[in-house]
Structure 1
């Protein structure tokens, strides 16, 4: 639930700081005081509206899910913040995120219900209500869990089978292409480190003639060996250092000549052609190692294509068996849901009696197999489809369904924002909605703007929104102030004694 809310500089509001409790929270006040503006700013904090306030901040004590699945740090309290400067910036526990990401997170625990929202009657939600009602049925839970597991396997296996069938249509072309790719590499038959070795040979060949000429010229130094030794002897200097140097130089020249002789039989054109081939492979695959890995991968693919008929046959059998199993499980789920739906229909009609409606009909029809089974829930009111009933009837039917769903919720089910829930209703109808919302508020924290005394009187927290000299303010009211506000809602600006008495009666004071 939302525990704290702060607003700074938004339209007619300068600064607002509120603390909320669980249950039904109602905002009232004369038209134009700023109730809708306030509600819009709260919704904006969660990315559901776009109020351009300087600062909005709020705290929620428990989200009911793990923030880590969104890549955010988990804390005991979630702090939401929205700052408006040149653009809007959103934060959750001091971590920046986009409005889209924020609304995705908020949708996990907040519902903003308005007249155009018909999501309560989409098939997934209706099936969720039915399945919640079967929460204590261990056999149903086991069957549903087995169905979900096998359905996931069925979808995965079906996807693999479809891929194989698609590949099979072009199997000969694929085999021909892969064989061609393998042959191109085999024709070159590249070896690891071969490119580097050939590059080194190429370098040596390019310098062979130059090295040979240089060595030939340098050999003239050996003609002066005896003269140098003679001079050293005359100078009475040990000549061993010179002898060692001459011997080492001679060895170097001989080794170099041997290496150059080995290059005599090498065809430079062949070397250059080979280097070009290897270079082409390196450019295409990144390296010779990657080229060889690619060839092995293609060999495996070719082997799989050769065995594709066997693999396809195995997958076809698996898909067929899985489909049969999940269809049987889906039938068991349907039988359980049909019995539960009768009870849900009775409960919804029980709430509709409070709301001065009747004859809601819930039926279960067979539909295409999906992750929820093969059930489609159809809802009608007095034999009329939902799209053909009035907005007032739709609103009350939705409340009845929400009330039933709240009965089955195991814990706090989240936060509801209700838009003009009792606008343009009679006192009798407003009183009926108040009773149902009182029931729903046992499992939900509900925020509503009210124009009627009946709903306002059952609120667990009542906030009055006022505007003085163009500046709006909001604060929680109690006892006498609350009686006065409800009496104003009944009789208008000229509050009568009868309105005061009626307000006290509603509040039981």
Structure 2
């Protein structure tokens, strides 16, 4: 609920503090007094797009502050939380318009964007007037309004969930079909490549191993010749024989050398051990260097085959094994793709069946809600002197979507037998006001906590019709806060709270203000609305009669 509105230096308002109440709040005043400026200022702090020049002449900036009370389950709380703004039972919006056109906004003392203000305004205030295209006159929103009237949130949620599942199943099928088509185009290549790679069966690290073996075998003949010579030099006919002879000769001499040869003989023994190890190592090398010319040919053939295949596929030789796995997986996917596509098509068919069921159920629920809304409107139109008019909720088939397959449009025929059409195309100004009021009464039945603003919605009507409009506004304010800008005394008399907008001239400047009226002042204001500038006793008597009804 809108608790207060504080306006400073906006258009012809220098400073105005307006405290609003639950129920029906009425704003009256002469034409040009500034009633529309209040709505412009409220729209400004709510982020609505309106006049470009709002700052009062002579002021550096204009400022509007609006304070709202939020119920525990008010949807504005969700908007605040999503925007990372403080959430409390009181919501304070403040917006400043500098002389140079810059606009700055705060929400609960935190800087906020115009986008956040507009998101909050959608949950806080509804504005209705003869030129209203934000809600009731916009056919794009009629389906949502019908769903709200019929309490179809659960049906809509089921339809949206079914649509998401259907879209997901269709997307998965399209992706699988694209993959299958791409694989089919390279099927010949895949089969040949996998067969070629599988036959060769290259292993990681095999290229380096084969290359080393090949180089060793290629140089083995020359190496073996030198190694053989070394082996002969180390053997019994070479160093080994000489060392044994030396050892034998020293043994004979040691007996008479009185220990002088002990160290030398120990060193010679160690040398013979080292010589034996060297001879054994050389023998092992000779075994390794022993090769078959056919083996060299086989090694070279495999090495060249691996490198040729690597060049063919533009990969390193060590990556051929991984490439084999990758291409084999693609080939398996191609071979198993038909079964996968069948399964995915079955999932799409199942999802379509679920969606069709949900959309049909939602369409049936909408048709039922449309009948109820049409019946409720018929009851509301009669007291508003529109008993000959026919309101109809037309539902036509549309392309399938998350909200079903229905297009909803509110239409009217002002007289029996007359063609029906959109609200804003068929009704006259006065009729349109009453249609909008009746529709709003029906759509908000049982909904509490709304702040509704009606801008001269009673224009073009008077007498009993204006009285009927006032009664409906009073009924509508039972569970909500209603703010009405009106020129109708019948409507003004129904207000629970009454303010008069006045214009004055100070120091050559025209200023506007809002004055709360007590009981006596209300009588004079309603009398002025009845008789004009000159308030007569008869007008006051008529005003008292209206106010006592």
TM-score strictly above 0.5: yes
Q: Which has the larger radius of gyration?
A: 2
**Counterpart in 2 of 1:102?**
117
Match for 1:152 among 154, 157, 164? 164
Asked if the contact 1:132/1:408 (under 8 Å) is kept, the reply is: no
**Counterpart in 2 of 1:319?**
348
Q: 1:429 aligned to 2:465?
A: yes
Match for 2:376 among 344, 347, 362? 347
Q: Deviations over 1:204-257 (max 9, x none)?
A: xxxxxxxxxxxxxxxxxxxxxxxxxxxxxxxxxxxxxxxxxxxxxxxxxxxxxx
Mark the CA change 1:165 to 1:415 in structure 2 (over 3 Å): closer, same or farther: farther
Q: 1:92 aligned to 2:107?
A: yes
Asked if the contact 1:123/1:376 (under 8 Å) is kept, the reply is: no
Unaligned 5+ runs, structure 2: 56-60, 192-202, 206-318, 414-418
Asked if the contact 2:452/2:481 (under 8 Å) is kept, the reply is: yes
**Counterpart in 1 of 2:42?**
42
**Counterpart in 2 of 1:30?**
30
Q: 1:398 aligned to 2:427?
A: no
**Counterpart in 1 of 2:445?**
407
Greater alpha carbon shift after TM alignment, 337-346 vs 452-461: 337-346
Shift of 1:106: 1.4
Match for 1:484 among 508, 521, 524? 524
Structure 1 residue matching 2:407: 3-state secondary structure: strand
**Counterpart in 1 of 2:402?**
371
Shift of 1:367: 3.0
Q: Tell me how far apart the structure 2 counterparts of residues 424 and 488 of structure 1 sit (CA, whole Å).
A: 18
Shift of 1:78: 0.9
Structure 1 residue matching 2:16: 3-state secondary structure: strand
**Counterpart in 1 of 2:81?**
68
Match for 1:77 among 67, 90, 93? 90
Q: Tell me how far apart the structure 1 counterparts of residues 329 and 524 of structure 2 sit (CA, whole Å).
A: 82
Structure 2 residue matching 1:354: 3-state secondary structure: coil
Asked if the contact 1:360/1:380 (under 8 Å) is kept, the reply is: yes
Match for 2:492 among 435, 451, 456? 456
Q: Deviations over 1:20-62 (max 9, x none)?
A: 1122222111122211112211111111145445221111111
Mark the CA change 1:405 to 1:176 in structure 2 (over 3 Å): closer, same or farther: farther
Q: Deviations over 1:243-286 (max 9, x none)?
A: xxxxxxxxxxxxxxxxxxxxxxxxxxxxxxxxxxxxxxxxxxxx
Shift of 1:425: 2.4
Q: Tell me how far apart the structure 1 counterparts of residues 442 and 431 of structure 2 sit (CA, whole Å).
A: 17
Mark the CA change 1:472 to 1:379 in structure 2 (over 3 Å): closer, same or farther: closer
TM-score under structure 1 normalisation? 0.69
Q: Tell me how far apart the structure 2 counterparts of residues 178 and 405 of structure 1 sit (CA, whole Å).
A: 65
| Alignment RMSD | 3.9
Q: Tell me how far apart the structure 2 counterparts of residues 300 and 319 of structure 1 sit (CA, whole Å).
A: 29
Q: Tell me how far apart the structure 1 counterparts of residues 328 and 547 of structure 2 sit (CA, whole Å).
A: 79
Q: Tell me how far apart the structure 1 counterparts of residues 464 and 406 of structure 2 sit (CA, whole Å).
A: 37
Asked if the contact 1:41/1:49 (under 8 Å) is kept, the reply is: no
Asked if the contact 1:3/1:20 (under 8 Å) is kept, the reply is: yes
Match for 1:57 among 62, 65, 68? 65
Asked if the contact 1:130/1:337 (under 8 Å) is kept, the reply is: yes
Structure 1 residue matching 2:21: 3-state secondary structure: coil
TM-score under structure 2 normalisation? 0.64
Q: Tell me how far apart the structure 2 counterparts of residues 169 and 506 of structure 1 sit (CA, whole Å).
A: 80
Structure 2 residue matching 1:407: 3-state secondary structure: coil
Q: Tell me how far apart the structure 2 counterparts of residues 330 and 94 of structure 1 sit (CA, whole Å).
A: 45
